[in-house]
Amino acid sequence: MINLIRNLEETKKELEHSNKKYERLAKTLPAVLYEYVLFPTGKNLCIYVSPKCEEVLGLNQKLFLEDMNNFWNLIHKEDLPKIIKADKIANENNLNFFIEIRILFPITNEIRWLQLSSSPSEDFYENQRIWSGFILDITDKKRMEEQIFHYATIDSLTEIYNRRYFYEKLKKEIDHFIEHKKKFSILLLDLDRFKNINDKYGHIIGDEVLKHFVRETNKFLRPQDHFGRIGGEEFCILFSETTLNEARNISLNCRYIIENTPISTDLGDIYLTISGGLVEIDEHTLDVLPLIEKADKALYLAKDRGRNQIVAL
């Protein structure tokens, strides 16, 4: 009996030593380690979480273990449905779980990106499979991706789409029309006599004129529209799911406001006018270049007729 007690005590000490060693190792990892169970009722139970959760999630171990809702409440409302769905599918099919989500970090109220990954283990808790995984802070990685995307798609001067990315958007809209027959229109714009402005005032003020034009134009665009700079003073607007007549009304309003909203400079006010060629997608312009060429013909007519007008074909 004495030997049995001694053996139990030694076993207990070994387990405690093993757990402390495991905790020390867990603290050195850049991720949160966790184990949890998802019950058929939808309830989640966390049976282990490493101390790193306070640094990564702004949530201490006790709160995480007491109620997993303390973690779920941190998740960005737009990401919550997709993680619930993915978690349910993984559990029902014993599949590895991997997802990237955003949380609102409670200490600073900043948005952080997390990578969650877990796998089904061979162990069970109350007849339910235990899942083991980790949570990794990938905020820096995501910010770097956003910067790369920004530099690859955005015109550095005007902060709207560059030519390459705008054409990609246009190609997707054409594909959408082919599949769903949803009409759209494009407006090719050119700043009238912009070279004269550059020659008279210099390129620095010329750049300010371009930015002024973009700011004023953006005021009239809807969330579904796309605006791109495709040349020095040439721009294009994609009016998504918009007929020619609807796009004409927006375009004429924009032309009027640009004409009547001068930009103030140290050398005096500069009045700007625009000419535009407006076209609607049809069965003969099912590619980017034919559509742009048709809009360019309309733009040429606008300039040939005296500029400061919108011509629709």
Residue 30: CA count within 13 A, CB half-sphere: 6
Q: How confident is the model at residue 75 (pLDDT cuts 50, 70, 90)?
A: very high
State residue 122's pLDDT score.
86
Token reading at 268? 């005096």
Token reading at 213? 């034009």
How far is the C-alpha of 200 from the C-alpha of 78, rounded, in Å?
A: 50
DSSP sequence for 20-42 = HHHHHHHHHSSEEEEEEEE-TTS
Q: What is the mean pLDDT of residues 95-114?
A: 91
In this predicted structure, the answer to whether residue 150 has a pLDDT above a threshold of 80 is yes
How far is the C-alpha of 163 from the C-alpha of 170, rounded, in Å?
A: 10
Global pTM reads 0.72
Lowest mean pLDDT: which of 18-27, 172-181, 194-203, 256-265? Answer: 18-27
- pLDDT cut 70: percent of the chain above it: 91
Lowest mean pLDDT: which of 24-38, 112-126, 210-224, 253-267? Answer: 24-38
Residues in the chain: 313
Q: 265 vs 135, 195, 216, 268, 269, CA distance in Å?
A: 53, 17, 16, 5, 6
State residue 37's pLDDT score.
85
Q: How confident is the model at residue 105 (pLDDT cuts 50, 70, 90)?
A: very high
Rounded to 5 degrees, what are φ and ψ at 181? 60, 35
Better-scored residue on pLDDT, 92 or 225: 225
State residue 265's pLDDT score.
83
Q: What is the mean pLDDT of residues 171-198?
A: 92
Token reading at 235? 């721009």
Q: How confident is the model at residue 8 (pLDDT cuts 50, 70, 90)?
A: very low
* Contacts by 215-220, CB closer than 8 A, 24 or more apart: 216/254, 216/257, 216/258, 216/261, 217/189, 217/254, 217/258, 218/160, 219/257, 220/250, 220/253, 220/254, 220/257
In this predicted structure, the answer to whether residue 212 has a pLDDT above a threshold of 80 is yes
**Which span out of 15-19, 48-52, 265-269 was modeled with the highest average pLDDT?**
48-52
In this predicted structure, the answer to whether residue 24 has a pLDDT above a threshold of 70 is no
Q: Helix, strand, or coil here: 183? A: coil
Q: What is the mean pLDDT of residues 227-237?
A: 95
Residue among 159, 233, 241, 283 flagged as catalytic: 233
State residue 22's pLDDT score.
55
pLDDT in tens, 25-41: 656 677 899 898 888 77
CB 182 within 8 A of CB 241: yes
Please state the three-class secondary structure of 116-141 as a single string. EEEEEEEEEECCEEEEEEEEEECHHH
Torsion on CA atoms 12, 15, 16, 21, rounded to nearest 10: 160
Q: What is the mean pLDDT of residues 60-66?
A: 87
Longest dimension (CA), the chain: 108
Q: How confident is the model at residue 17 (pLDDT cuts 50, 70, 90)?
A: very low
State yes or no: is 233 an active-site residue.
yes
The closest of 13, 23, 89 to 50, measured between CA atoms, is 23
pLDDT in tens, 257-308: 999 999 988 888 899 999 999 999 988 888 999 999 999 999 999 999 999 9
State residue 31's pLDDT score.
87
Detail the DSSP E strand segments found in 69-110: 97-104
CA 219 to chain centre: 21
Q: How confident is the model at residue 21 (pLDDT cuts 50, 70, 90)?
A: low
Whole-number average pLDDT of the chain:
87
In this predicted structure, the answer to whether residue 47 has a pLDDT above a threshold of 50 is yes
* Structure letter (DSSP) for residue 154: B
Better-scored residue on pLDDT, 204 or 92: 204
